Structure 1
Amino acid sequence: MQTVPLQLSDVIYNAATQSFEALVTVHDDRDSRSYACAINAPITMAFEDAAEGLATQAMRRHTHGRSRNAHLPAAMTPRRPNRLAGLRRMTIDKFATLRPRAA
């Protein structure tokens, strides 16, 4: 089994999703790739266990994703790129709104 160096950056706990998140960089003989990884876990989980789970996820994505990345379809453009383009810009006269308070 070959050992591949990993680098975990910015490991945080996201309380909203109750998960540990990190940017994991995998360095192999060809190149280096970074993966945004997240594992669902309670905040009481030990850091070493969370780091191991994040590293496992990154390695799984690194080894299994190489063959599929070459055949990914091109990103589609959104159907409504600018939803607010048709809305009229509203202007507010600041002096007119503050004038009643000055009296």
Structure 2
Amino acid sequence: VQCFVDGSAKGWYNYLYGDNKAANDMIKKDNPDMTDEQIAFSIEQLKKFGVVDSGDSEKLGIGAMTDARIQSFYDKMVKAKVAQPGIDIKKAYTLAFINKGVGLELKK
């Protein structure tokens, strides 16, 4: 699991901030209508709006999550009556594989 999580984070950093030509070629192969301009725009928007790399991830790495963030989400779900109150949410997740700053050195 750790290797997969680390590899995913490094992959995102390399894609967003490194040489993404090979990845873009694969995207275009599977999506022939996709253009270089569309891909460049999409990457620009991912960065501009912090979809992948913002907030906690700026210090903890892509994929960052915190107990506080999960608790906040759960509280909102309870308020919206989507989740039941009183659930011990800490039994539902682990932070063991994230928040280690893996790949931060790849951000350029």
Question: Which TM-score applies when normalising by structure 1?
Answer: 0.29
Higher relative helix content = 2
Q: Greater CA radius of gyration, 1 or 2?
A: 1
Higher relative strand content = 1
Question: Which TM-score applies when normalising by structure 2?
Answer: 0.28
Q: Which of the pair has the greater relative contact order for Cα pairs under 8 Å at 6+ separation? A: 2
